């Protein structure tokens, strides 16, 4: 097979779609990228916390998540909320989430998430070596306000070491030595030295430039209305008065992936989890290490002199409106951990919202469709979309080329809940 004669149509201009395009182009495929937004427009890959997280080896569906979620449901400023609505897809997703929120599931998937994140970290280093994307390899601090929180996070650190990851439990004084530029009021922290961070907009601009330089065609501002099939395969995508033919098709449509797959009769359990971020241009203090407020579930990342705070998981459909109480919850948590900050520091900061695609077991979807063998789906990455972007793109390119991936990925199968 000559890849140049094999047109790949990639639906999605976020980090997963662009990384898929990049690695497919590097293999010699011809690529068309279709994106809902205008060229280089805002999507969930832009306003996130910019973290690369080998530390995140525990899936979202984990022990204790159901009870925490139920408690948070009735607190307007809490980090988690499911908007009640009559929706069979949401009910199915919730039932599957419940079934997977156990220790057995964590044990079965932790090495997969470890391997994906470590390989993606290696690929980020490669990309940074080719062109500076501002990759900061300083690790991450899980900041614990309470002794109880520190004890629980220390257990996560111990489990990380069991599977070969680096993790160190530190007291408040040791945390201050690791990041002396920020004043912290904490009981202690767990330091994950393999984690990294970068500025997402800078990375996405670099990635888009590379994809264009390798010869990709872009179709921007296009919403797909129909997917044509013939002989058990996809033949074309149509939308905005245009038709896109190809031999291979990749759907990396973020939170819109399930809606797109319904056009070909595939029901993918997937929900949009809205998150918010606030980027402070001139913070009172600027940490050098990205962190997470453990009890508040807020991520903090320094970005080229600015400081971004990101958090919440609001499951409420394809809705990008700003829920003010959820944003207030992020803002109110900051002073508890960073006492030199106050709510007034956020008065002129405009909140950003994005939709994360969340699978019910906390594992991304990545694989070929059994029903339509020339269709590859890459989605459901939840909060790890940026972190897993490069490895997901590389795996898509492996599938396109018919080559074995760097490790088995059957657990990510598209039809695993069929």
What pLDDT is recorded for position 5?
66
CATH number of 3-45+202-266+361-412: 3.50.50.60
Q: Decide which of 3.30.9.10, 3.30.930.10, 3.30.360.10, 3.40.430.10 is the CATH code for 54-101+135-196+270-358.
A: 3.30.9.10
- Whether 27 shows a pLDDT value over 80: the answer reads yes
What pLDDT is recorded for position 84?
81
User: What's the rounded Cα separation, in Å, for the pair 314 and 383?
Assistant: 12
Domains 3-45+202-266+361-412 and 54-101+135-196+270-358 share a fold: no
What pLDDT is recorded for position 381?
97
Helices 103-130 and 200-213, axial angle in degrees (round to 10) = 60
Per DSSP, what are the bridge partners of residue 300? 291, 309
What pLDDT is recorded for position 357?
97
What's the average model confidence in pLDDT over 52-81? Answer: 85
Residue 196 banded pLDDT, cuts 50, 70, 90: very high
| pLDDT tens sequence across 357-409 | 999 999 999 999 999 999 999 999 999 999 999 999 999 999 999 999 999 99
User: Is the Cβ–Cβ distance between 149 and 187 less than 8 Å?
Assistant: yes
What pLDDT is recorded for position 145?
98
- Whether 3 shows a pLDDT value over 70: the answer reads no
> Nearest CA to 364 among 412, 401, 321?
412
Per DSSP, what are the bridge partners of residue 278? 309
Residue 53 banded pLDDT, cuts 50, 70, 90: very high
User: What's the rounded Cα separation, in Å, for the pair 26 and 64?
Assistant: 43
What pLDDT is recorded for position 346?
98
User: What's the rounded Cα separation, in Å, for the pair 170 and 29?
Assistant: 48
Residue 128 banded pLDDT, cuts 50, 70, 90: very high
What pLDDT is recorded for position 384?
97
- Whether 8 shows a pLDDT value over 80: the answer reads yes
| pLDDT tens sequence across 72-99 | 777 888 888 888 888 899 999 999 999 9
Residue 318 banded pLDDT, cuts 50, 70, 90: very high
Q: Which residues contact 153 (CB under 8 A, 6 or more apart)?
A: 142, 144, 169, 189, 190, 294
What pLDDT is recorded for position 38?
84
What average pLDDT does the structure give for the chain? Answer: 95
User: What's the rounded Cα separation, in Å, for the pair 33 and 12?
Assistant: 7
pTM (whole model) above 0.85 = yes
Torsions phi, psi of 70, nearest 5?
Answer: -65, -40
| pLDDT tens sequence across 251-304 | 999 999 999 999 999 999 999 999 999 999 999 999 999 999 999 999 999 999
Angle, CA 33 vertex, CA 31 and CA 38 arms, to 5°: 155
What pLDDT is recorded for position 39?
79
User: What's the rounded Cα separation, in Å, for the pair 303 and 281?
Assistant: 9
User: What's the rounded Cα separation, in Å, for the pair 170 and 142?
Assistant: 10
Domain boundaries, the chain: 3-45+202-266+361-412, 54-101+135-196+270-358
Residue 4 banded pLDDT, cuts 50, 70, 90: low
What's the average model confidence in pLDDT over 230-238? Answer: 97
What pLDDT is recorded for position 74?
72
Residue by residue, DSSP assigns 237-300 as EEETTEEEE-SEEEE--GGGHHHHHGGGT-----EEEEEEEEEESS-SS--SSEEEETTTTEEE
Torsions phi, psi of 314, nearest 5?
Answer: -115, 105
What pLDDT is recorded for position 243?
97
What pLDDT is recorded for position 2?
60
What pLDDT is recorded for position 63?
87
């Amino acid at each position: 097979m000559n890849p140049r004669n094999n047109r790949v149509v990639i639906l999605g201009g976020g980090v997963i779609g662009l990384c898929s395009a990049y690695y497919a182009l590097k293999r010699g495929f011809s690529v068309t990228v279709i994106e809902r937004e205008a060229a280089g427009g805002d999507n969930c890959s832009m306003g996130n916390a910019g973290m690369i997280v080998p530390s995140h080896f525990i899936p979202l569906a984990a022990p204790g998540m159901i009870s925490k979620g139920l408690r948070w449901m009735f607190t307007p400023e809490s980090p988690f909320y499911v908007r009640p609505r009559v929706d069979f897809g949401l009910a199915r997703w919730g039932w599957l989430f419940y079934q997977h929120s156990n220790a057995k599931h964590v044990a079965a998937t932790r090495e997969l998430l470890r391997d994906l994140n470590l390989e993606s970290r290696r690929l980020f280093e490669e990309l940074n070596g080719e062109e500076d994307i501002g990759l900061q390899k300083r690790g991450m601090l899980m900041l614990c306000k309470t002794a109880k929180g520190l004890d629980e996070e220390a257990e996560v650190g111990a489990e990380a070491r069991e599977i070969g990851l680096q993790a160190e439990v530190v007291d408040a004084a040791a945390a201050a030595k690791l990041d002396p530029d920020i004043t912290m009021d904490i009981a202690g922290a767990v330091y994950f030295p393999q984690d990294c961070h970068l500025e997402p907009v800078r990375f996405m601009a670099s990635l888009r430039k590379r994809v264009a330089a390798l010869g990709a065609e872009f179709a921007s501002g296009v919403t797909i209305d129909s997917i044509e099939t013939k002989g058990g395969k996809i033949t074309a995508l149509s939308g905005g008065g245009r038709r896109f033919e190809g031999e291979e098709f990749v759907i990396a449509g973020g939170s819109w992936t399930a809606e797109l797959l319904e056009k070909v009769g595939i029901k993918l359990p997937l929900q949009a989890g809205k998150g918010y971020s606030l980027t402070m241009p001139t913070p009172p203090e600027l940490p050098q290490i990205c962190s997470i407020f453990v009890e508040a579930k807020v991520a903090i990342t320094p970005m080229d002199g600015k400081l971004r705070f990101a958090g919440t998981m609001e499951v409420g459909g394809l809705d990008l409106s700003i829920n003010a109480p959820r944003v207030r919850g992020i803002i109110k948590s900051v002073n508890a951990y960073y006492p030199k900050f106050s709510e007034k520091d956020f008065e002129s900061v405009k909140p950003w919202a994005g939709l994360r695609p969340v699978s019910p077991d906390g594992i991304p979807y990545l694989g070929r469709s059994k029903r339509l063998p020339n269709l590859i789906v890459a989605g459901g990455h939840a909060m790890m979309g940026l972190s897993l972007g490069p490895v997901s793109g590389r795996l898509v390119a492996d599938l396109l080329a018919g080559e074995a991936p760097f490790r088995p990925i059957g657990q990510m199968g598209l039809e695993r809940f069929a």
